[in-house]
């Protein structure tokens, strides 16, 4: 695993940190790979009873790396399609890499608590939604940001969002791509709990969970997930199909170009 993600295990708690603080933990190819590898490792890591997922520095995760966005504006497929083609489909898996960095936390058999602060934008909010529990600072800037860039949410976000909020709310957040605070996320049901120190409170909760019967906790997560995961494979396939239909189109490139040129986009019907 690269240094993009660090894992420290102590007293049954796996402390997982996205480790690119100078870029607000933005998602580049190395971060995608490291997150997925971290989740895979923790599926079978001995002695782990709970996971805390957080970001080093001032933000949880600011979404896709801007270098990838600039590549889209320059019509560079190798970088510009980082979210649409991030990894091949492994045999027997219902996700590709960009989706797996979110979904892997549901596959980890123990509870995963996301400690969210600073920014959780685009892919960042989708990673947070992949956790079982979200402890969020009230001032965190959050957004289902993809449509701003001419894309659709493609990292399991539509599936997870639709499980947590009403369809009209999911549509409003997605269609507008607006930035909203963590306090509103709690009101909407996207945040489990608000905290002025999400990481400290996540660790406190983790210690509480680590202190109860590990078999019972694993069993409870499996039972709840059996109900919650219905339809996931079909939705993830639709995400992959629809993101491919948008990436590199004239309107999608225009959305990115206009943002970098600080002007209003001009779209064609």
What secondary structure does DSSP assign to 112-158, as a single string?
EEEEE-SEEETHHHHHHHHSSEEEE-TT-EEE--GGGGT----SSHH
Domain assignment present for residue 108? The answer is yes
**What is the span of the domain harbouring residue 41?**
5-197+213-260
Q: How many domains does the chain have?
A: 1
Structure confidence at residue 181 (pLDDT): 98
User: How far from 11 is each of 40, 49, 113, 209, CA to CA, in Å?
Assistant: 20, 9, 16, 11
Q: What is the domain-level CATH number for residue 170?
A: 3.90.226.10
Domain assignment present for residue 225? The answer is yes
Domain assignment present for residue 208? The answer is no
Domain assignment present for residue 202? The answer is no
Structure confidence at residue 253 (pLDDT): 93
Q: Rounded to two decimals, what is the model's pTM?
A: 0.94
Domain assignment present for residue 58? The answer is yes
SS3 for 112?
strand
Q: What is the pLDDT along the chain (269 residues), one digit of tens a residue?
A: 679 999 999 999 999 999 999 999 999 999 999 999 999 999 999 999 999 999 999 999 999 998 877 766 665 543 334 444 455 677 788 999 999 999 999 999 999 999 999 999 999 999 999 999 999 999 999 999 999 999 999 999 999 999 999 999 999 999 999 999 999 999 999 999 999 999 999 999 999 999 999 999 999 999 999 999 999 999 999 999 999 999 999 999 999 999 999 999 999 99
Domain assignment present for residue 269? The answer is no
Structure confidence at residue 61 (pLDDT): 98
Domain assignment present for residue 121? The answer is yes
């Amino acid at each position: 695993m690269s240094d993009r993600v660090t894992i420290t295990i102590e007293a049954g708690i796996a402390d997982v940190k996205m480790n690119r603080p100078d870029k607000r933990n933005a998602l580049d190819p190395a971060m995608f790979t490291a997150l997925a590898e971290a989740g895979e490792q923790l599926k079978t890591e001995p002695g782990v009873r709970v996971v805390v997922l957080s970001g080093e520095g001032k933000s949880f995760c600011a979404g896709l790396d801007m270098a990838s966005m600039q590549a889209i504006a320059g019509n560079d497929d190798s970088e510009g399609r980082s979210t649409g083609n991030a990894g091949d489909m492994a045999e027997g898996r219902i996700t590709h890499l960009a989706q797996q960095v979110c979904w892997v936390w549901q596959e980890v058999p123990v509870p995963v608590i996301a400690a969210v602060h600073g920014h959780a934008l685009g892919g960042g909010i989708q990673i947070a939604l992949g956790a079982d529990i979200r402890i969020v600072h009230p001032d965190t800037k959050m957004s289902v940001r993809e449509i701003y860039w001419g894309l659709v949410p493609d990292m399991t976000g539509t599936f997870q969002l639709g499980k947590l909020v009403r369809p009209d709310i999911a549509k409003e957040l997605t269609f507008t791509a607006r930035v909203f605070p963590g306090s509103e996320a709690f009101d909407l049901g996207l945040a489990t709990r608000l905290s002025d120190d999400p990481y400290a409170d996540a660790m406190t909760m983790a210690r509480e969970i680590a202190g109860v019967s590990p078999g019972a906790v694993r069993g409870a997560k499996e039972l709840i997930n059996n109900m919650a995961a219905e339809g996931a494979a079909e939705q993830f396939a639709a995400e992959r199909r629809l993101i491919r239909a948008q990436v590199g189109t004239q309107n999608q490139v225009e959305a990115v170009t206009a943002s970098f040129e600080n002007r209003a986009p001009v779209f064609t019907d």
